[in-house]
Amino acid sequence: MKKLIFAAAMLLCTVAASAQSFGVTAGFTSSSTDVKNFDPKSVSLYHAGVVFEIPIAGGFAIQPGIIYQMKGATLDKYADDTNNIKLSSLETKVGYLEVPVQIQWGPDLALFRPYVFAEPFIGYGINVSNKIDIAGIADKEKRQEWADNAMKRLEYGCGFGIGLDFWMLQLSVQYFMNMGGLADDNGKITTDAANEAIKAVVNNAYDKNNFNGIKVSAVLFF
């Protein structure tokens, strides 16, 4: 998986050599998850990185980038009576190194350029932070370690949005969604009851509909 991200980054560097504009980007990320039996809440985080703009004929442009993006979710009030699992809270924050490729279309109106776009992306979680509280598991450090190991690091998905280019600036708003589950059935989870409780919670929380949300970005081109 790491090799896949590395290969994507190397390809991006090759594409960047033909780019017309280079920019730095930063902005606001708000993500959450949508699962049954939970009380989900969004988490407001951030992203930052670099992008390269490559104009194409007919109003089209391609804008690949390398982004560090924080995503996460907060979940409360989960109970599984079958397995006797009681969850007080689960807060997850993952820092992804992402390679997005934004495909834009919009008319050039001289002073500014409005556009719409689609943005497929692939990423790898380089740091994971889980704060989990499950009834009957008192060791906080082990709770977090087990929860971290129960999550996949690889993510992929797509975003859709609108943007505006003017002068050396670019503003955009997009809705993004992950298209794969983040629960890792092959994670380093042993079979004792405490681990099984955490694995059940993580599998339910991150099986699908993970870390979907809104991203607001600003780019300064050079």
Name the E strands within the chain.
Answer: 21-32, 39-41, 43-55, 60-80, 85-105, 112-134, 154-166, 169-178, 212-221
The structural domains of the chain, ordered by start, are 2-221 (2.40.160)
Question: Residue range 70-82: average pLDDT?
Answer: 70
Alpha-carbon span 159 to 78, nearest angstrom:
29
Mean pLDDT rounded to a whole number for the chain: 79
Alpha-carbon span 163 to 144, nearest angstrom:
39
Residue 20 has pLDDT above 60, yes or no: yes
Alpha-carbon span 123 to 4, nearest angstrom:
9
Any idea which of 31-45, 46-60, 69-83, 137-151 has the lowest mean pLDDT? Answer: 137-151
Q: What is the pLDDT of residues 31-59, one digit of tens each?
A: 877 655 555 666 789 999 999 998 988 99
For tokens 């949005």, the residue is: 161
Q: What are the Cα distances from residue 167, in Å, to 10, 93, 107?
A: 29, 35, 15
Alpha-carbon span 215 to 171, nearest angstrom:
11
Q: What are the Cα distances from residue 115, in Å, to 31, 64, 172, 174, 218?
A: 24, 16, 9, 12, 14
Residue 11's pLDDT band, with cuts at 50, 70 and 90, is low
